[in-house]
């Protein structure tokens, strides 16, 4: 798992070592030269990183969610809107930590993507970086509420 923050160019030999890379839009643009304004642009940038040898690319898209792109799938998970946005600092780190933790406990990559998005969605409703990170119960509650809402519609 490699989070390429801050947005600086990297030597191409690093990319084949990455099972997962998690740039935000700015970082993905710095790594690929592809300006990102939407999910289609993020897919193009992710394709460049796949061609450089990355296994799976996750481009975080702020309030638009996160895109997972690999050789076998491309999935956009929308952001979880959990309340009024107070501060976005730390949301990307929270997303990456949540995504990695979910993978480590055995979740498939799409479930891990949802977990990371839910964690980030909660964190932006609170001030600070570390203090804004939610508990496991809080993240699971958001995921369960979302699943219930999806089943009801």
Among residues 11, 13, 19, 93, the one annotated as catalytic is: 93
Contacts with 112 (C-beta within 8 Å, 6 or more apart), sequence order:
98, 99, 100, 102, 103
- Among candidate residues 95, 101, 100, the one with its CA nearest the CA of residue 118: 95
Judge residue 42's burial from the number of C-beta atoms within 10 Å of its C-beta, 0-12 exposed, 13-18 middle, 19 or more buried.
Answer: buried
HSE toward the beta carbon, residue 16, CA cutoff 13 A: 2
Is 12 one of the catalytic residues?
no
CA distances in angstroms from 91 to 16, 42, 49, 79, listed in the order given: 26, 18, 23, 11
Catalytic residues: 93
């Amino acid at each position: 798992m490699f989070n390429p923050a801050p947005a600086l160019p990297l030597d191409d030999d690093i990319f084949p070592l990455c099972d997962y890379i998690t740039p935000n839009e700015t970082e993905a643009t710095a790594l690929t030269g592809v300006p990102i304004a939407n999910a289609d642009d993020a897919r193009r940038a992710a394709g460049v990183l796949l061609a450089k040898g990355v296994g799976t690319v996750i481009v975080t898209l702020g309030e638009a969610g996160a895109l997972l792109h690999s050789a076998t799938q491309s999935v956009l998970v929308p952001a979880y809107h959990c309340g009024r946005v107070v501060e976005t600092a730390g949301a990307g780190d929270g997303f990456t930590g949540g995504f990695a933790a979910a993978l480590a406990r055995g979740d498939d990559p799409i479930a891990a993507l949802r977990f990371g998005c839910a964690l980030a969605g909660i964190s932006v409703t609170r001030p600070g970086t570390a203090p804004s990170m939610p508990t496991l119960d809080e993240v699971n509650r958001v995921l369960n509420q979302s699943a219930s809402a999806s089943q009801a519609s």
